Structure 1
C-alpha cells in the first residue's frame, strides 16, 4: 500500500474516532487501537497504543471545547475523576508495556464486550441533571469519584485508551448525572488520561508522530459532525446509550476474533 493510501486511511480512521467521541464521548478512543492496527497497518500493538493515546487526547480536547460551549460539562465532578484517574493511568501504562502485544489486544477486546453488555443491561436512565459536587454532598460524592476515577484510569493506562467508554458509565454511577452530561464531562478525563498515557509511551519511543498528526486532523473534522449529531439526539438518551453499547460490543467481537487465533496457534 502506498503512502497516499495509508495517509487517507489514517485520516478517515481519525474522522471516525472524532465522530464517535463527539457523539457519545466514549467509544471513539476504544476504536483507535483496532483502526491503527487493522486499517492503517501499524505492526506493533504497543506503537498503536501509544499513537492512539496522543491522537485521542488531542481529538478529545477539541470535542471538549465544543461540549463545554454547549453547557454539557460538570467541571468539578470531571476534574476530581480525572486527577484520580491520571494517577491510575501511570501505573497501568507501566504494567502494560511488560505484556505481550497480542495478549494485550485479546484482553482489550474482552473488556470491550463486558462493558458493552453491562451498558445494554443497565440502559441509559434519566439521572439528575442538577447534580454537582459541592460542600453539602462532598462526603458522599468525593470517595465515589476518587475510587471510580482511579479504577478507570488504571484500565485506561493499561489498555492505552482515553477510557471514555468506561468514564461515561463511571460518572453516571458515581454521581447519578444523565448520559448527556456524562458524555460532555467524560471528555475532560479522556483528554487527561490520554495525555498521561501518551507521555509514558513517548518516553519509551512508542509513538508514530506522522500517523498521530494525520489521525488528529481527521478527528477534529469528525468531532464537529459528532457533536452536531449529538445535540440532535440529546433528548433521546436511551438511543444514545444503545449506540454507545453497540459500538463497543461490535468492535470488541472483531478485536477478539482477530487477535485470539494467533495466540491459540502459537
Structure 2
C-alpha cells in the first residue's frame, strides 16, 4: 500500500491510499507517523494510523469542549460518548487529559467552591449535590468542602434577604424566611440560625403594628369577597399567622379593625 495523496481539508487532512481508499486524519497523526506522499504502508501500520487518528480526533474534540470552561471527568466522558467515540478510545483520551492536568476533579471542585465563595449563594449541602451530579467522587467533594468556611456566603445571602423583607415581614416572619431560605440553599439549620442571630435587626412596636395593619388590609380585601363572619375571621387569622405575626397581635388588630 502507498500513500497517493495528503490533502488539507479545513481542520483535518484527507489521506488517500493507492488512489482509492480514503480516511481523515489530524495533523498530529501526520507528525507522529511522519506521513508523506509516496510512503509505503503495511496493514499493521495502517491500523495504528487509524487508531491514533481516532484518538487524536477525540482528544482535539475534548480540548475544544474544555476550552470554554473547566469540566469534570464525567462531563468529558459523556461528551465524547455523545459524539460516538468508542469506549476504548475514550479511556485513552481521558487518561491522557488527566496526565496532562486538563482534567482534574479535585481542582474542578476547588474552583466551583471558590467561585461560590466569591459571588455565589449556595451552602455546602447544595454544592456537594452539584458536584456529585457532575460525577465528582464523594470523597473528593467532602475533602474540598471541609476546607471551606461558608459563613461569608451565608452572611451575604442573609443580608440580601434582610434588605428585601425587613419592611414586609414581622421579626418572627423575617426570621423564618431567612432561616428557611438558607436551609433551601444548602446551609445547615444550625448555621442558618447562627447567621440570623448575627444580623443587626432594629425594629419597634410602631413599625410592627404598621406592617400588621397593612397585611390585614390586604388580606381583608382578598378574603371578604368570598367569606364573612367567623369564616372570614379565621381566614384572616391564618393568613396573618403564616406571615409570622403573633396571635395576640393579630387579635388586637382584628378588634381595632372591626
TM bin (shorter chain) = under 0.3
Q: Which structure has the higher relative contact order (CA within 8 Å, separation 6+)?
A: 1
Length-normalised TM-score, structure 2: 0.25
- Greater percentage in helix: 1
- The structure with the largest alpha-carbon Rg is 2
